[in-house]
Amino acid sequence: MIKKILIANRGEIAVRIARACAEMGVRSVAVHSEADRFALHVKRADEAHSLGDDPLSGYLNPRKLVNLAVETGCDALHPGYGFLSENAELARICAARGITFIGPSAEVIARMGDKTEARKAMLAAGVPCTPGSAGNLANLDEALADAKRIGYPVMLKATSGGGGRGIRRCDNAEELKHNFPRVISEASKAFGSAEVFLEKCIVGPKHIEVQILADRFGNCVHLFERDCSIQRRNQKLIEIAPSPQLTEAQREKVGELAVRAAKAVGYQNAGTVEFLLQGDELYFMEMNTRVQVEHTISEEITGIDIVREQIRIASGLPLSVKQEDIRHRGFALQFRINAEDPKNNFLPSFGKVTRYYAPGGPGVRTDTAIYTGYNIPPYYDSMCLKLIVWALTWEEALNRGLRALDDMRLQGVRTTAPYYQEILRNADFRSGQFDTRFVESHPELTEYSIKRNPNHLAIAIATAIAAHAGL
């Protein structure tokens, strides 16, 4: 069994991993930049070590991270999500230094991180893919020829892209000519690769992804699906598990396809297979070779601790569950509470958190790294917490989400919380029938007025008095 883990990340996912370590009796080591000196993940781990003054370079330096793991006596490294979580070089360096990488092999990361190679692997395994270019595009002329063959609209994508970046929709040849150099530039800067490819644009699909777990003994299971259709500019905002839009037949089919995809590439550890659903047609989109931001809702509906399973798998243990033992119960929603102003085109709103009250009650979970007095730095992603709610029925889950969002008080920065309340009140959303066009087709939802609950003032005064009294 793994004894000590270096958490090569920051923020709420680092806190989440540290908590799993504490429950398993595994020691945890946090890393931090100078900007993160007072971050919560630093306080929650058993040890914490500085990566230097630069806010980003330390988190993005694989050799430095692995060297620190060796120096601190760690036998494993958990990459979390973002940063180097899907970096094959980090996995290779870990293997070379005798550090267990809590994730798939470097070879699988590289193969599935290359979108064209991933498509080839899925087609060979009989997993349906959207029509697209055969490989990476050599030049604009080849892109134009492929687009004419596939038919507009098309999606121009960075081969090594992820997180919604390096993607442009092109509705005609002129837009493709305009976007081709821009996507290459974005891909080069964000992913260190100028390679791009084309896919047919599936208009108005539902974005469905499946959480899988696989061990080294050939066991692979899925934890059902998540619906990530509520997104803005390819960035997910609200995630739901299971999808209220799928029939049982579709649910069974997408789960089977995800397991088939994972087995086809010899996958191990936790991963997510993402699909687009249009009508009854499912298309493979990509595979994320790491824990997802939204893993929480799969945990809520199945009762399975995904991070714990990751550590067990990396320790050489078999999965603790079999597919026939996994059931889903109720509905869970996750709200990415971002420090952004929806009324001002989602402009980032970094700064000091002057007051923070976490919501509670039955079926409410908060994963965060903020606290009252914490300064949200401008160098990282704007997400400051994840609010997760669970209930037995879809309607109860929506109402619980409204209540929890209203309970939460996060002052000092503007957030997306009131915008999510408007979404939860929307009749189209409440009907359980929506697709990836929902946000853009409902611009009126950003025109909310902030309604103040009179109890919030009483809560704020009581909290201030208690803090002053040292209670």
Residues of the chain scoring pLDDT < 50: 454, 459-460, 462-463, 466-467, 470-471
| Contact assessment for residue 58 and residue 70, using Cβ atoms and an 8 Å cutoff | no
| Contact assessment for residue 271 and residue 81, using Cβ atoms and an 8 Å cutoff | no
Question: Of 290, 312, 400, 409, which residue is the catalytic one?
Answer: 290
Residue 320's contacts (CB-CB under 8 Å, 6 or more residues apart) are 309, 312
Task: Indicate the pTM of the whole model.
Answer: 0.91
Instruction: For residue 378, say if its preceding peptide bond is cis, omega within 30 degrees of 0.
Output: no
CATH of domain 206-454: 3.30.470.20
Cα separation, 125 vs 127, whole angstroms: 6
- From 356, 465, 349, select the one nearest 416 (Cα to Cα): 349
Q: Which helix (H) or strand (E) holds 69?
A: helix 62-71
| Contact assessment for residue 211 and residue 222, using Cβ atoms and an 8 Å cutoff | yes
Q: What is the pLDDT of residue 467?
A: 45
DSSP strand pairing (331-338 vs 383-391):
antiparallel
| Contact assessment for residue 157 and residue 199, using Cβ atoms and an 8 Å cutoff | yes
- Between the CA of residue 108 and those of 86, 88, 164, what are the distances in Å? 10, 8, 21
Domain boundaries, the chain: 4-102, 131-200, 206-454
Cα separation, 182 vs 175, whole angstroms: 11
DSSP readout, 334-376?
Answer: EEEEESEEGGGTTEE--EE--EEE---STTEEEEE---TT-EE
User: Could you tell me which CATH class the domain 4-102 is placed in?
Assistant: alpha beta
Q: Which CATH superfamily is domain 131-200 in?
A: ATP-grasp fold, A domain (3.30.1490.20)
Cα separation, 116 vs 119, whole angstroms: 5
329 is catalytic: no
Residue 253 has φ and ψ, to the nearest 5°, of -65, -45
Q: What is the pLDDT of residue 466?
A: 46
| Contact assessment for residue 39 and residue 111, using Cβ atoms and an 8 Å cutoff | no
| Contact assessment for residue 398 and residue 363, using Cβ atoms and an 8 Å cutoff | no
Q: What is the pLDDT of residue 116?
A: 87
Residue 106's contacts (CB-CB under 8 Å, 6 or more residues apart) are 88, 89, 91, 92, 95
Q: What is the pLDDT of residue 465?
A: 52
Cα separation, 422 vs 429, whole angstroms: 10
Q: Give the distance, in angstroms, between the CA of residue 270 and the centroid of all CA atoms in the same chain.
A: 13
Strand partners, 227: 208, 240
- From 409, 378, 379, 403, select the one nearest 391 (Cα to Cα): 403
Residue 175 has φ and ψ, to the nearest 5°, of -65, -35
Q: What is the pLDDT of residue 192?
A: 77
Can you state the angle between helices 173-191 and 140-150, rounded to 10 degrees? 120
Q: Report the 10 Å Cβ neighbour count for 162.
A: 20
Helix (H, G, I), strand (E, B) or coil at 417: helix
DSSP strand pairing (167-170 vs 100-101):
unpaired
| Contact assessment for residue 166 and residue 234, using Cβ atoms and an 8 Å cutoff | no
Q: What is the pLDDT of residue 30?
A: 98
Instruction: For residue 205, say if its preceding peptide bond is cis, omega within 30 degrees of 0.
Output: no
Long-range contacts of 122-128 (CB under 8 A, 24+ apart): 122/261, 122/264, 122/284, 124/264, 125/260, 125/261, 125/263, 125/264, 126/260, 127/257, 127/260, 127/261, 127/264, 127/284, 128/257, 128/281, 128/282, 128/283, 128/284
- Between the CA of residue 239 and those of 225, 298, 461, what are the distances in Å? 10, 10, 34
Helix (H, G, I), strand (E, B) or coil at 390: strand
Residue 289 has φ and ψ, to the nearest 5°, of -95, 55
Task: Give per-residue pLDDT as tens, 35-76.
Answer: 999 999 999 999 999 999 999 999 999 999 999 999 999 999
